[in-house]
Amino acid sequence: MAYSLSLAELALGYTSPNPAVGAVIVRDGIVVGLGHTQQPGLEHAEIMAINQAGEMSRGATMYVTLEPCCHHGKTPPCTNAIINAGVSEVHIAVADPNPLVGGKGIQQLEAAGIKTFIGEHEQKARVINEGYFKYIMTGRPFVIAKFAMSLDGKIATRSGDSKWITGEEARNYAHGQRHIVDAVMVGANTILADDPQLTARGYSGKGARSKLQPLRVIVDGKGRIPTTARVFSEPGETLVAIADSFMDNDRLKTAREGTEYIAIKSVDGWIEIAELLKVLGQRQITTVMVEGGSKLLGYFFDSHFVDKVLIFIAPIIIGGEEAKTAVSGTGVDKVKDALQLKDVKIERFDDEFLISGYT
């Protein structure tokens, strides 16, 4: 199963809105078939492994990270292929929460006389597809808050300079995270101050839908971002969310190819983020990484919309009352009410650290 999980991780960034799944077929102690989910509409992990194993599938054991599908989507049911291939035993890491599957895949396999086992490395399998699980169960994307800061919690100096808080190794890791999410989100102030590219540099592609890059989502309530910003000329697609009270037809006429403006419900010119997340879910965006600025992150934390946190900490002290902090917003009145992360992990990149956890 550990091998299957590593194959599933290879598929991350290419399969959305489908889950990233890995499958291994073993016969007489020898691996005879390997597979991982391909782009939507192409082979699922089980089919890829069966095709590679051929006749060696008969009497073999399959290890798969997610319950095999049993319904017709863009591809035929994997359960039918497993039964027809003559596989005798299937080990499944975790059941699929999709109501079209939800245990029915296991039932079909067992009805055909195939022994099934479930739960091996379940937690790791859930983490790999945490975005898919949240999306299927709620219709909204899994939200990751990511930012880099100094030891004293600053993301920029008092003059606004922020390049670079972290070193190259940490930034490369961050690009890897952009590669595996469906969308990257920032606020208008981040675009105006830093003019970022918001691309997953160093990665060869994510599939036709996203044109090799994650969708860039810009929260621009008052429509302040100029069309000359770099995000509009980078490969991939950009979605600009503007408060409905500030949307106008002239803006639509200036949109470049690959850029879309959408009006979102607002209160006093402030976009309702819950509505934006709903819209993204309707567009089959399963994971969103929010990278700033501090006002947008503050809104997400105050509204309890964050599912996971990635914080890069550099061993530097910036200081200054006017220097920007990572998260603004309203915050809490008492320390005891502060958000406490769970399942915390700490990784090191040169002299810098990544602290990750769940809300």
Report whether 43 contacts 166 (CB < 8 A).
no
56 CB-near residues (< 8 Å, 6+ apart): 25, 27, 32, 33
Which is nearest to 73 in space by CA: 108, 41, 111, 32? 41
Please give the helix or strand (H or E) that residue 105 lies within, else none: helix 104-111
**Residue 330: which region, alpha, beta or left (left: phi > 0; alpha: psi -120 to 50)?**
alpha
114 and 88 Cβ atoms separated by less than 8 Å: yes
Task: Write out the H or E segment, with its range, that includes residue 241.
Answer: strand 238-243
Work out the angle between the directed axes of helices 45-53 and 78-85 (0-180°, nearest 10). 20
Residue 207's closest CA among 13, 349, 341? 13
- 12 closest CA partner among 147, 185, 203, 202: 203
Query: Cβ neighbours of residue 254 under 8 Å, at least 6 residues apart?
Result: 227
Catalytic site residues?
A: 46
